[in-house]
Amino acid sequence: MKDLEKKLDAVLQQMRDFIDELQERESAYPMVFYHQSEEDISQFVDGGWSLPAEYVYFLRHYVVERVTWATGDYINLNIYGARDLIRGQEGYNYNPVTDEMIEDWPHDYLVIATDEGDPYCLDLSRGDTAVFTAPHGTGNWHFSMAYDNLILFLESLLIPPGLEEMLPEESSVAYYELTITGEGKDKLKTLLLLKKLLSYDYSQARKALEQPPLVIYRGVEAGALKLETELQAIRADFQKRKISLAEFIG
């Protein structure tokens, strides 16, 4: 469990950093951090809910309200913290108007997040944190596994649209920026690389190289490593810098 806690801490910190940076740039960004109380957690731990230990740890540390995630595959994903987890079940397993349980909802499914009505759930009968989802509005629920565990689900929030295929299967997401700082040992090879990367003609590449620094890549680590190898092979002058998700999509 200690290793899982460290991984959860790491991805939660990435989420906090992303929110902090967005709020610095957009003062109206709807985000509130609140102080977690033991009462928020005890209602689940002492209330007969068979929550996986990993998920309980998450509830103790995810202390964000009114944040929606619009990265990766999500339109407006809302992840429920301890304070609104019970309310998040309404309309799925519970009808607050009739005060009745909803018959066709899988009994052991706990809604932990929703994206424009599509629920993301834990199956509490399994004892793990595999995340299942299904489209809403089809008449019947047809669930499939979206992520093998909670950590992978949380990491998916930090993936910008269109980059999923570039990511390693089991790793935290990291973003890098590569910048040309000079013509390097072989100016011609550097020019040819700029032509390829930026779709420049020769005169455009030459003009750009005369005015460094020149950003040539922003993206995930896998792409940065590949380009870094090319730059090293032609002995170009360049810098590599780790950047945040907010910097990348900003």
DSSP 26-86: -TT---EE----HHHHHHHHTTT----HHHHHHHHH--EES-EE-STT-SSEEE--TTTTT
Three-state DSSP class for residue 95: strand
Q: Which two tokens stand for residue 212?
A: 């460094």
pLDDT at 171: 47
**Verdict on whether the full-model pTM lies above 0.85:** no
Question: Looking at the DSSP assignment, which residues form a beta bridge with residue 131?
Answer: 122, 147
The angle formed by the CA atoms of residues 122, 146 and 243, to the nearest 5 degrees, is 105
Cis peptide bond N-terminal to 213, omega within 30? yes
Helices (H), 26-68: 38-45, 53-61
Q: Per-block average pLDDT, block size 10, for the chain (250 residues)?
A: 83 81 60 56 66 89 76 85 87 86 89 94 93 87 90 82 46 79 90 86 87 87 85 92 74
